[in-house]
A and B are shown apart, each in its own frame.
Chain A
């Protein structure tokens, strides 16, 4: 177990109990009425979901940056998150929001984006063009899904549908239950496992695509693992919590200096740090004294965008 993993596990061990107590109402297990119920049915599923979604986004970001050999890569680049969002928006548009119907629509959207991506990029005859084509196809799918989402918003049948679409897109973990956890946790963990298994091939890519192939890496298998791994992690995240941006971008950067810089050693610590970041951001959303609770997606974007700019400036100076 590396230094980064141990450090992050200690931080998580401190943050998890704190997150259960923190909120608009600070919980005192001894005095707060229905404390056990609030903990078991409201705060615990919410905390677990924050950890699961953050872990998925963090691991996907680390794997994406390794795959594209670019520290500015983000899971959103592959078009899977916008695909999932489109699925969810369609569910909201037609009013199919009961139970797990909305997440199911979002997962179908993520699956559709994954299938389209594999169909376009998986068939290149020249393996040397694989990753570039893959990224371009992903960006086109993201644009298309974004445009269709905007279309759905502009054609929303009523103000209530439009409001619920826009609110959902902002991303949040409010009012989530154990049902959401039961759906999201296995899928996300399976996705992280797939990405973790791809670690060795991502390490080989450090030397470029040609050298990686000479080391026995099969580009098609690796592409398949990336589509499946990011699809499961990011698609599930969007399905249960809406669009939560920047986690996949920020987290690998924060963690990389603590590791030996190999893509494979970044995936597990990024999953832990992603979980920690989303958990903490969700607590911040809950305790800020605003009239309505700050949306998690907005909070993370407010942190993420300035960070991204700082990163660009550092890269310009050749530091990153």
Chain B
């Protein structure tokens, strides 16, 4: 089930936010979307989830345009984790995770349980979400997406505002999903996380796709200089790279 976008462009208040982006996403891969603030990363992710209508171009899932799909079919296939960690009511963790089953119109007890276990939330099942720490809440919100057993997980900066231990535990869950055949697309600000954990990186700059490939290539010092205007170099071994910047 391939998720693809073709000639995607989005304008907001007359300003081009995304211009003519085309790419294919492969199941089983973790794809990171990187770029400076305002590059169009979240807009691309929203368009991939059919949450905004592009001005031109289209997003397809297995060659079928997303707007032509029934919203519930689309929701069963594409799980979306927004950047905001909004939870309006103080529901229990189990009830929060159960929201992921809404597109299936079933109780999905087994799937909910599996998602709770995968995100190491077993001990928190009946806890109200207001009593969770930031990291636990992030895991609960990811579990909500996983409970829907989607073929695709789109997450907008899921690791932002998390400490390193929680970042790694969330990444481990996402890697497990990718290994089981799910496609994972993440907006990431932390280039080292993208370099070390993604299978593929897209770099956006002013709404254009300026690099697309293996992390080593897409996040080369030249591409970082072009997109972020920062002089930087990578240190360390593959998989354990650290980014060093010059002032």
Give A contacts to B, CB under 8 Å: 66, 69, 128, 200, 203-208, 210-211, 213-218, 260-263
Check A210/B46 contact, CB under 8 A, given A69-B88, A215-B75, A261-B90: yes
Kindly list chain B residues whose C-beta atoms are within 8 Å of the C-beta of A208: 82, 84, 86, 88
Among B91-99, B181-189, B204-212, B219-227, the stretch that binds chain A is: B91-99
Query: Which A-chain residue is minimally distant from B81 (CB atoms)?
Result: A211
Query: B71 at the A/B interface (Cβ < 8 Å)?
Result: yes
The minimal Cβ–Cβ distance linking A319 to chain B, given in whole angstroms, is 11
Q: Note all chain B residues with C-beta closer than 8 A to A218.
A: 71
Question: A214 and B144: CB pair below 8 A?
Answer: no
Q: Are A216 and B75 in contact (CB under 8 A)?
A: yes
Q: From A266, which residue of chain B is reached at the shortest CB distance?
A: B89
Contact A216 B71 (CB under 8 A): yes
- Most central of B89, B100, B144 by chain A CB within 10 Å: B89
What's the dominant secondary structure at chain B's contact region? mixed
- How far apart sit A214 and B83, CA to CA, in the bound complex (Å)? 13
Known: A200-B102, A207-B144, A210-B46. A260 touches B91 (CB 8 A): yes
B40 at the A interface (CB under 8 A): no
In chain B, positions 56-79 with a C-beta closer than 8 Å to chain A are 71-72, 74-76, 78-79
- Cα distance A210–B52 in the bound complex, in angstroms: 10
What are 29 sample pairs from A and B whose C-beta atoms fall under 8 A apart?
A: A66-B89, A203-B102, A204-B102, A206-B87, A206-B91, A207-B87, A207-B141, A208-B86, A208-B88, A210-B82, A211-B80, A211-B82, A213-B71, A214-B49, A214-B78, A214-B80, A215-B99, A215-B100, A215-B103, A216-B71, A216-B72, A216-B76, A216-B102, A216-B103, A218-B71, A260-B91, A261-B90, A261-B128, A262-B95
Distance A204 CA – B91 CA, assembled complex (angstroms): 12
Is there an interface contact between A206 and B102, defined as CB atoms closer than 8 Å? no
A257–B91 alpha-carbon span in the complex (Å) = 11
CB distance from B108 to the nearest CB of A (A): 13
Inter-subunit contact A261/B89 (CB<8 Å): yes
Determine whether the beta carbon of A262 is less than 8 Å from that of B51: no
Q: Are the C-beta atoms of B92 and A260 separated by less than 8 Å?
A: yes
CB contacts (< 8 Å) of B103 on chain A: these are 215-216
Residues of A near B91 (CB, < 8 A) are 206, 260-262
CB-nearest residue of chain B to A210 = B82
Instruction: Give the distance in Å from the alpha carbon of A69 to the alpha carbon of B84 in the complex.
Output: 15
Cβ–Cβ < 8 Å partners of A216 in chain B: 71-72, 74-76, 102-103
**A213 touching B84 in the complex, CB below 8 Å, given contacts A204-B102, A262-B91:** no
Most buried by B among A69, A210, A215, A218: A215
Instruction: Check A214 against B75 for contact (C-beta < 8 Å).
Output: yes
Contact A206 B88 (CB under 8 A): yes
- Residues on B with beta carbons closer than 8 Å to the beta carbon of A207: 82, 86-88, 99, 141, 144
Given A213-B71, A214-B82; 11 other pairs, CB 8 A cutoff: A205-B88, A207-B141, A208-B86, A210-B46, A214-B79, A214-B80, A215-B148, A216-B72, A216-B75, A216-B76, A217-B71
